Structure 1
Amino acid sequence: MRKVFIVLVFTLLATTAAGQCRMAAAGACHVIPVAKSPLPVAIGEVIERGRYSMVMDATWYGLPPARDGWIYFRIEDEVYRVDYRTMTVVERATEEASRNWP
């Protein structure tokens, strides 16, 4: 019975400490930074048709209108210009998107 009580107390303390850390002011907790993953596709890479979502209303996201045969695609959390005819990634355009970009 005593062992069960000790385990419950330690579990409660660990849970409480974790909860306080999430609510503490910035810099109060030790947070291990997570390395940003590499970009999902490379410039010049040919993507598979139907695998990624096309961005339909680019102006809503603060992007310039598509022209000259390229369109925007959402690939993971990034937005890319892609040549529609060849499906070749032309460039990354995430920085051009406004706050509306998810």
Structure 2
Amino acid sequence: MATSEDGLPITVEFGGGAELLFDKKKRHDVKLPGDKEWTLQKLLYWIKDNLLKEREELFLQEDTVRPGILVLVNDADWELLGQGEYKLCPNDNVLFISTLHGG
């Protein structure tokens, strides 16, 4: 889907402890830059470069999220949407929930 000249507005949220890697902020309302097509894969790289504050290895593993992190787009599991190939739409809500807990 085409984006506006000033970017693609989406909401990125983190829960289950994942927010600790993002300056303890659970919700980020962002505009992804440019008029290119944005996929979840591209969003992961953008998050790494723009939102992630520490310990990248706890969020990403190779070119995807690490095992134990659920990804929901508008409350639907990204595995049902094609994972990284899903094309983001204006006002999508992307939620990352960590299911990993320390002992």
TM-score (norm 2): 0.25
Structure showing the higher helix proportion among its residues: 1
- Please say which structure displays the higher CA radius of gyration: 1
TM-score (norm 1): 0.25
